Amino acid sequence: MNDRQLIDQVRNLLQPADPPPYLRGKVSSMIAGSAGPARWRFRRIATAGAAATTGVLALLITSVISIGGEPTAASAQAAEILQRAADAARADQTPAPRAEQFILTTTKGFAPAGAQGQPATTLTHAWMSVDGTHDSLIRVSDPPAGGQPSTVIPGCKNGQAAEWAPDGSLLNSTRPCTPAPAYLQGLPTDATKMLNYLQRMSGSSTRSDEETFANVGALIRQGYLPAQSRAALYEAATKIPGVIASQTMTDAAGRSGMAVSLAGDIDRYDLIFEPKTYQFRGWQVVPKTENAVQQSRREVILSVSVVDRAGQMS
């Protein structure tokens, strides 16, 4: 997903009012990046079954496995990684967060900073309202010129939310709204239905496999998926043609991981998983150019937890 699509996505959430100009990019990435189908640090997560089927991967290098009796479209290696991630998700018995709580996600983003410079890094804490009716909070380590280190995302109560002033403060006036909950209930729990959902997310009649795979990452970044929907998401990705495995990959935080990838005409899109627990770690978009490392856009998930109030660290 490119920057234009992210801006369009947050604009749909915030209609009819846009965020202040200096906040558009950050709000786009963080409302979409409140993140996390995986329970990286969610109150002592359950990881039983994450390392199941040890040794099977080697047997699948030249074969094709099936999900629910249907042949997969991804390579066997990619399908195995995704299926293990799905199994780990189903083993997660963590209770659902309460409506008044917040999903706290700490991420580190890496974005191009110029043709010759090192990638710019941003550490972000985002407290996103579980039910979308409470004021969320985004705190960044490097606000843009004229920006603020902390930004309140107004909750939607009784169909109304506070409007933004040009400087990012909240006005007394309100605008019509629809709640954007951070806990994404009601999503499909079946792989085929989830695949159809991913294909519809783009809103176009022509759906490319590249768009569908990018929507896997987009849905992950939109909010916190219940375990069964998260498992269906990973299984749906096995049905996308062209998805392959990158068995070893170092994410932008320097951690070793396993990735599933799909290469388009311009970029390669990677989803990176922890190699032992198969929890989701982050994503990256890598251009097919000689200086791809400098031009890459990457985001890693450092932690996810549930807290009782915005601004609470643990």
Strand ranges (E), the chain: 66-67, 70-71, 102-111, 120-129, 136-140, 150-153, 160-164, 170-176, 244-250, 256-263, 267-273, 280-287, 297-307
The C-alpha atoms of residue 213 and residue 4 are separated, in whole angstroms, by 17
The C-alpha atoms of residue 121 and residue 37 are separated, in whole angstroms, by 23
Q: Residue 291: phi, psi to the nearest 5? A: -105, 40
Which amino acid is it at 195?
A: L
The C-alpha atoms of residue 230 and residue 224 are separated, in whole angstroms, by 9
The C-alpha atoms of residue 218 and residue 280 are separated, in whole angstroms, by 13
Q: pTM (2 decimals)?
A: 0.73
Nearest alpha-carbon partner for 140 in 28, 250, 59: 28
pLDDT tens series, the chain, 314 aa: 444 444 344 434 334 345 554 455 555 444 444 333 333 222 222 222 332 222 222 222 223 334 444 545 789 999 999 999 999 999 999 999 999 999 999 999 887 765 555 667 889 999 999 999 999 999 988 766 666 688 899 999 999 999 988 877 889 999 999 999 999 999 999 999 999 999 999 777 667 899 999 999 889 888 899 999 999 999 999 999 999 998 688 887 888 899 999 988 888 899 999 999 999 999 988 887 755 555 678 888 998 899 999 999 97
Q: Name the H helices within 36-132.
A: 56-59, 76-90
Q: Is the backbone of residue 11 left (phi > 0), alpha (psi -120 to 50) or beta?
A: alpha
